[in-house]
Amino acid sequence: MLRPRRARQRGLAILTAVALGFGLAACSDDSDSTDSASDTQTAANGTVFNDADVEFATSMIPHHAQAIEMVTLGDGRPLDPAVQQLASQIRDAQVPEVETMVDWLTSWGEEVPETSLDHSNAGHGMDMDSMGGDTPGMMSNEDIRALENASDGEFQDMWLEMMMEHHRGAIEMAETEQAQGKYPDAVALATSIETAQKAEIGQIEQLLGS
């Protein structure tokens, strides 16, 4: 079990790791106290959060990481400029969001989930079907392999269609957090994710229709 200082150091390393197409490692401590009358908890730093906040961050981290992996698969592909811009936009938004959620989980004494990027960096694959579980919008192992192996002529439309489905899953999770979450910053991030990804779905629909 990582102590808080080590966990924080591990969390800070995530931004660089994910940006390079790497991933996350688990960390936890025992710094929170639980209110037995409800699922509301108070961390050592005074942050009040609940199970919905933990579930939101725990599910959204690997979800974002998979989107970043999908963006990375497009590096070097002959994409239209508008698609390249969208991919950069997704990476630029989601890398710092991952870092933020890692910080939350670390401060709450909760485990930071592993992702497919973590195992990609290690040189061996991860079972994303098991990792994703029931997480809305997560691509399967087969989906990611198909995208990776697609020809240049097939890749762009396949990427757009998969990213649109992926975004719809993130929106679903964001809506749940807004309805059930307790931690204001998590609810605010969920609102931002919903707004941004709905707008990006609109862009994708236009790109697919053009």
Contacts of 192 (CB under 8 A, 6+ apart): none
Residue 57 has pLDDT above 80, yes or no: yes
pLDDT of residue 38: 60
Strand 48-49: give its sheet, edge to edge: 33-34, 41-42, 48-49
pLDDT of residue 99: 95
Residue 115 has pLDDT above 50, yes or no: yes
Neighbouring-strand partners of residue 40? none
pLDDT of residue 134: 79
Tell me the residue ranges of DSSP E strands in the chain: 33-34, 41-42, 48-49
pLDDT of residue 24: 39
pLDDT digits 0-9 by tens, 187-201: 999 999 999 999 999
Which residues form the domain of 136? 4-23+49-209
Report if residue 43 sits inside a domain: no
Neighbouring-strand partners of residue 49? 41
Bigger pLDDT: 32 vs 83: 83
User: What is the total count of domains within the chain?
Assistant: 1
Cα distances (angstroms) measured from residue 147 to each of 113, 130, 158, 159, 189: 24, 19, 7, 7, 29
Report if residue 36 sits inside a domain: no
Is-contact 19 95, C-beta < 8 A? Answer: yes
pTM for the model: 0.79
Report if residue 82 sits inside a domain: yes
Whole-number Å distance between alpha carbons of 180 and 207: 34
Q: Is 119 exposed, middle or buried (0-12, 13-18, 19+ CB in 10 A)?
A: middle
CATH number of the domain enclosing 148: 1.20.1260.10
Report if residue 55 sits inside a domain: yes
pLDDT digits 0-9 by tens, 5-28: 444 444 444 444 444 443 433 344
> Average model confidence (pLDDT) for the chain?
83
Report if residue 68 sits inside a domain: yes
Report if residue 125 sits inside a domain: yes
Whole-number Å distance between alpha carbons of 88 and 70: 11
Report if residue 170 sits inside a domain: yes
Sequence length of the chain is: 210
Classify strands 41-42 and 33-34 as parallel, antiparallel or unpaired.
antiparallel
pLDDT of residue 85: 98
Report if residue 40 sits inside a domain: no
